[in-house]
Amino acid sequence: MNFDLKIINGRIFDGSPSTSSGQAGSDAVRCDIGINGDSIAALGDLSAATAENTIDADGCIVCPGFIDAHSHSDTYLLLEPSAASKIYQGITTEICGNCGASAAPLNGDYKMPSDWLDKDYSKLGRARSPSAPRVARRSAPTPPWSTVAEYRALFAEAQPAVNAALLVGHNTLHAGICGYEPRAATPDEMKRMSSALEQALDEGAIGLSSGLVYPPGSAVPREEIIELARIVAQRGGLYTTHMRSESNQLLEAIDEAIDIAERSGARLQISHLKASGKSNWGKLDGALERLRTGDLSGRPIGADRYPYTAGCTDLDIVLPEWASHGGREVVLARLRNPETRKKIRTELMDHPPGRWDNVMIGSTQFDGFKGKRLTEVAESLDMDEVDALLHLIDSDDLKTGGLFFGMSEKNMWRVLAEPYVSLGSDGSLRAPWGPLSHDHPHPRAYGSHTKFLRAALDGQTVPLAGAIHKMTALPAKQFGLKKRGLLKEGYFADIAIFNPDDLKENTTYANPHQLSDGMRHVIVNGFHILKDGKHTENRGGKFLDHP
């Protein structure tokens, strides 16, 4: 018997949930893995078999490649196909199009999220070298795609290092057809949205995501989401949601999500499950109880979470609801009108003292403010915090990133231990070189899976087999990814091999562009992407179809 690649001497975790008493590593077995083409051809004692190449995994753990259950890498996969920040964590598949925002379908006046702007889409898919210089921000021509099929074709041309599946963002869909005004869709617009969603699913999208805290989704009636989710359900897809509230109205938001899934017939995935704000930490008990006991006619409820206590989104999320609708140009016009700016300022000043202490500035044109607390920025500008905030989001044209420290670490680990919770970074891929190196992302882009894996190895969370399951077979099942997430004969050869002694995240809030250590080899569809801890610049990712 001959293989293209053989892996020997490793401790194997196949992605199945732990069945032991709980000691990390107790579910490991020793066997060899033989790979031919893009698939696992055999497991067992393969000592008599020959191979074109052999990986000696002595001292290492071998497991399925990790699946990032919640990613925003939609366009970044085309811009930086090395997918470095993800590959160095062992991630081989990303679920994109979350929180109501997706790379496609693009219609009408829809504007992409701010962290997808200011990018050069004219040279998609070119390989980047780790030795390439960091580059400055560049203006973005119109993306050369509109439909999922066109995006998928560019994905195939770029062939990123990782696989990706795409959800259709409700905000993308709604804004492209109905615009940004806070209103419900007309019957004709609903027909057009439904048709666009059906086309996207036909072209390979796996479901629908909502971002009900962001405009225009924050103003649409529940019935609009239900009608669209029903289309997804009829085609075997799922509905994922960044809920309408993760703080004061958390329990009501969970009830709404369950109601949408129940009435539409769709499977439900709660995005980045959390209770934000210290006054809301105690609501987690009620939230978990609802998810454990929610009855969707036998359809399990899923969720994802990242292992950090700070969230990250555009800083303008703090604007009053009335000021956030209408699209980028309209919101900027409000900020630049003295009367409406004064009204916005007055409302923001009305918040309790200390609210701004937990806000950190992420991406901004002002390099000296990246990674600084808003209070520090305000002091540097000789302004109060609200004026400094408005100055930044105005000057940055609503492209300022904000990190919000409002979660309980104890709650975080409780959520991650829930059996239906998979690991999702809520971050887009980055690299310490090339077009994605200039901004200041949340460290989760470089460290989510490494941090969780390290915690499992150190006994701080679920046992190692359970942690690996949450990053492999569980999300594969939740998102309907065929022949992914397990080390099994006939499954695709997506494999991560790491040294548990060396595994660590290096990224920080202050210095996020730091790759993880400890991952020795990463294989994607049989392609050797990471070899002896170094990126080979091979790329073998595939666009994963609707199940």
* Residue 305 confidence (pLDDT): 99
CA distance 505 to 512: 10
1-65+445-503+516-538 against 66-309+406-442: fold identical: no
- pLDDT tens, position by position, 420-477: 999 999 999 999 999 899 999 999 999 999 999 999 999 999 999 999 999 999 999 9
Residues 344, 394: contact at Cβ < 8 Å? no
Pairing of strands 66-68, 61-64: unpaired
* Residue 116 confidence (pLDDT): 56
CA distance 340 to 68: 41
139 pLDDT exceeds 70? no
Mean pLDDT confidence for 100-109: 87
* Residue 353 confidence (pLDDT): 72
- pLDDT tens, position by position, 331-375: 999 999 999 999 999 999 987 777 899 999 999 999 999 999 999
pLDDT above 90 covers a percentage of the chain that reads 86
Mean pLDDT confidence for 247-261: 97
Return the bridge partners of 56, or none.
8
Mean pLDDT confidence for 308-312: 98
- pLDDT tens, position by position, 35-48: 999 999 999 999 99
Task: Identify the architecture of domain 66-309+406-442 in CATH.
Answer: Alpha-Beta Barrel (3.20)
CA distance 324 to 182: 10
In total, the chain counts a number of residues equal to: 547
CA distance 129 to 120: 17
What is the CATH number that goes with domain 1-65+445-503+516-538? 2.30.40.10
- What are the boundaries of each domain within the chain? 1-65+445-503+516-538, 66-309+406-442, 314-405
Q: Helix or strand or coil: residue 524?
A: strand
Average pLDDT, whole number, for the chain?
Answer: 92
- pLDDT tens, position by position, 496-533: 999 999 999 999 999 999 999 999 999 999 999 999 99
Q: Write out the E strands in 354-447.
A: 359-361, 401-405, 421-423
Burial class (CB in 10 A: 0-12, 13-18, 19+), 187: exposed
pLDDT band, very low/low/confident/very high, at 162 (cuts 50, 70, 90) = very high
* Residue 361 confidence (pLDDT): 98
| Residue matched to tokens 């409700």 | 170
pLDDT above 70 covers a percentage of the chain that reads 92
The pTM for the full model equals 0.94
Q: From the CB of residue 292, how many other CB atoms can be counted at a distance below 10 Å?
A: 11
Return the bridge partners of 517, or none.
504
pLDDT band, very low/low/confident/very high, at 297 (cuts 50, 70, 90) = confident
- pLDDT tens, position by position, 36-88: 999 999 999 999 999 999 999 999 999 999 999 999 999 999 999 999 999 99
